[in-house]
Structure 1
Amino acid sequence: MTSEPRIGPIALPDTRARRVVEQLLEGSGVTLNGDAPQDIRVLHPDFFSRVLYHGSLGLGESYMDGWWECDSIDELAYRLLMNGLGENARSTTERLKYRLQAGFLNLQSKARAYMVGEAHYDLGNDLFERMLDPTMCYSCGYWKSANDLHQAQQAKLELACQKLKLQPGMKVLDIGCGWGSFAEHAAHHHNVEVTGITISREQAALARERCEGLPVEILLQDYRDLDGHYDRIVSIGMFEHVGHRNYATYFETVRRLMPADGLFLLHTIGSNRSEITADPWINRYIFPNGVLPSAMDIARTSEDHLLMEDWQNFGPDYDKTLMAWLTNFDAHWHEIAHRYNERTRRMFRYYLAICAGAFRARHLQLWQVVFSRGRPGRYDAPR
């Protein structure tokens, strides 16, 4: 369904669906057709029934179709989540459908591993180059002492290197290397050899270009097909695509590839609850088949393979990172607008903003976890 957005909000229809939505919004600080940044300006009379019937999927799709506007979607998402509307926003049908699929199928099998690359990461390097900072990091920055996005991403990369205790000449494996940000940083600043793997052809092509002249090899490969031995292993922003059925295989693979004195750093978004669920809109439009692990998921499935040495949570930094990406996206959209349609623009704006609100509400976390195989001596983690 598509609709041309109107210049201003419409008169709100006196329907049961509208009254139910108003009741759900009570206490959240969000009003309909109000003047606050988080308020929803309704542009289509069927907005209410669509949201009630389809939950978060209907809310996101109706925004993509121009059925409503909001000056601060991030603040809207934050207030809705703080008011307890997170679970209510998922329709029973969508939630049950995903749980049944995930229960009976391996949605992240090797045969399906490249789906998210084709659907999201291969969308266009020109888009991501304008949204991200010069490091091309597509994961949470570390803002402890940073003043801008570029500093935060450089700090995140260096923090990972310090936690891995890199030494010149080491062989490092980067599982889910993206556009080569960690590989480039580690090879250039720490004189290590890096092998990076990705399931995105567009990422692999740009990563090879960015790392040209450095001891870096970029492979288009699934983690389950890896062999060899590496002194250190890192995985930044990839574990969200592994899936609960494959966690044990993932950690067993890391152990198999790492020597007795090796270290592994896992950088992942985390869920507060151990559930096999995904937001229906995110699953359909952004990260197909993605599942966020809980702390229990990671601890339980890693315990037979690796020893946990350190766990750090800097989830609130993802709010700042996402808002910086949104600022970049808006500032540079005109440069690539001829290659994409308006629905894609609204899709990306909505995605970045609702995720920022979710981290702001502490509905999502960002964890860096360091593992070993039980190496002798004490491990001291830098901060």
Structure 2
Amino acid sequence: MTNSKKIVNDLLEKADITINGGNTFDLQVRNDKFYSLFLNKGSLGLAEGFFKEYWYCRDLTGLFHRLFFNKETQSYFSENFNMKLKVLKNKFPEDFEHRNYNSITKENLLTSILGNNLNTSSGYWQEVYSSNESQKQKFDLICKKLKIASGDKILDITPGWGGFAFYAASKYNVEVVALNPSNRQSKYINQTCKSLNVRVEKKDFFSVFEKFNKIVGWDLFDNTVNADFDRVQFKIDQLLYEEGISLLNIITGDNNGNDPWLNDHIFPSSILPSFVQKSNLIPTVLKLEDLQSFGLQYDITVVNWLLNLQNESDELKAEFPQDGLLLWEYYLSCLAASLRTKRIEVFEIVLTKLSYPFTYESVRLYQNHTYGK
């Protein structure tokens, strides 16, 4: 056995992973070049080896879960691996968009993976069993937390494909202003919401000066440097009416750092500030009324996307290169494991102005019952 092979074997055994073992989470080596590649390049080498088919694993999520959970392998990966993964957000659809395929087919494929509303944030899984049901339940919870009422004017900072805008406008008779720079997504929102009071604007958040009853945003801080957090809060404070409410979904990492594979292949200069950094800033301008952890919900959502991706593999192969499918299987598996081991955490926070005139009552959904008002 070569020295590099022995080092890797010994390291993985600490996480209960046997190279070429019989468990679904065991790493199966196809090419011995994997060992030196992994030792020399860390997370970048592990990923590159996977895409070069130097190794494979039947349960990637199980593999990464063990690597991230074990203290010895975790410390080894903390410097080189640092899985500071962001939410899928719009990168998944954009990667499809860069291919010259029929847009209707692409959106149908995305729907089969993400659900009917193409929402790339966490669902809410309380006695529901599909992406469509979980996303609808999540939107319902958000509307209740925001205390949405007929006639409200809502600003959606990160509307994506417009799922929440459609839900809120159709169910509550509200006006929604959706900020989206993407031509494709803006067109899609305009088509699906053409009979509703939804207005798409290709504006930057900081270029908006209207007043709103409610402001909602997903993953707003994921790639924002610390100096910008105060600016975001001041802007929300500026745009909200006195009785207004804002809800933000934020993703945090266990420590700061950039992962070389993610920087090279997914999102350059990715940063996930810790929750402590964010929570210390929030009360300076706005009042933190409610906080709910969504890590488990996001884990279930990502696993559901992964299963949908694998179930649609035959149709996807006709539309999407194999290396692209491998990339997203690898990415989603890492994301699920990072959530499960709390290397990444997701929180939903409710904010009001310091001059908010009412007592805010938190809302939770449990087994089809709503607690709070």
Classify the TM-score, shorter chain: 0.7 to 0.9
Determine what percentage of the aligned residue pairs are the same residue: 29
Distance of 1:153 and 1:122 partners within structure 2: 21
Mapping for residues 38-53 of structure 1, pairs under 5 Å: 38-53=25-40
Distance of 2:274 and 2:78 partners within structure 1: 19
- Would you say the 8 A contact 2:209–2:239 is kept in 1? yes
Distance of 1:52 and 1:185 partners within structure 2: 49
- Would you say the 8 A contact 1:124–1:202 is kept in 2? no
- Would you say the 8 A contact 1:265–1:368 is kept in 2? yes
Distance of 1:361 and 1:373 partners within structure 2: 34
Answer with 172-181 or 287-296: which moved more. 287-296
- Would you say the 8 A contact 2:243–2:358 is kept in 1? no
Give the CA deviation at 1:90: 5.3
Matched, 1:71 2:58: yes
Q: Which secondary structure does the structure 2 equivalent of 1:209 belong to? A: helix
- Would you say the 8 A contact 1:309–1:371 is kept in 2? yes
In structure 2, the partner of 1:209 is: 191
Mapping for residues 1-383 of structure 1, pairs under 5 Å: 14-84=1-71, 85-89=73-77, 120-124=92-96, 126=106, 127-273=109-255, 275=256, 277-374=257-354, 375-383=356-364
| Residues paired across the two proteins, number | 346
Specify the code of the residue in structure 1 equivalent to 2:189.
A
Give the CA deviation at 1:189: 1.1
Give the CA deviation at 1:300: 2.1
Specify the code of the residue in structure 2 equivalent to 1:300.
N
RMSD: 2.0
Q: Which secondary structure does the structure 2 equivalent of 1:303 belong to? A: helix
Call closer, same or farther: CA 1:351–1:169 in 2, change over 3 Å. Answer: same
Give the CA deviation at 1:202: 2.9
1:84-115 C-alpha deviation (Å, 9 max, x unpaired): 334522556x98xxxxxxxxxxxxxxxxxxxx
Distance of 2:50 and 2:225 partners within structure 1: 29
TM-score by length of 2: 0.87
1:24-75 C-alpha deviation (Å, 9 max, x unpaired): 2123121101110100111121111111121112212221222211000001
Distance of 1:156 and 1:376 partners within structure 2: 27
Call closer, same or farther: CA 1:206–1:284 in 2, change over 3 Å. Answer: farther
Call closer, same or farther: CA 1:139–1:16 in 2, change over 3 Å. Answer: same
Specify the code of the residue in structure 2 equivalent to 1:321.
T
Give the CA deviation at 1:187: 0.6
Give the CA deviation at 1:183: 0.6
Q: Which secondary structure does the structure 2 equivalent of 1:267 belong to? A: strand
Distance of 1:295 and 1:73 partners within structure 2: 27
Answer with 237-246 or 189-198: which moved more. 237-246
In structure 1, the partner of 2:371 is: none
Call closer, same or farther: CA 1:269–1:159 in 2, change over 3 Å. Answer: same
- Would you say the 8 A contact 2:242–2:357 is kept in 1? no
Distance of 1:210 and 1:242 partners within structure 2: 30
- Would you say the 8 A contact 1:90–1:280 is kept in 2? no
TM-score by length of 1: 0.85
1:320-340 C-alpha deviation (Å, 9 max, x unpaired): 111110111112232232332
Answer with 144-153 or 132-141: which moved more. 144-153
- Would you say the 8 A contact 1:30–1:40 is kept in 2? yes
Distance of 2:193 and 2:74 partners within structure 1: 41
- Would you say the 8 A contact 1:228–1:257 is kept in 2? yes
Distance of 1:68 and 1:292 partners within structure 2: 29
Distance of 1:322 and 1:358 partners within structure 2: 11
- Would you say the 8 A contact 1:243–1:290 is kept in 2? no
Give the CA deviation at 1:362: 2.3
Give the CA deviation at 1:373: 0.3
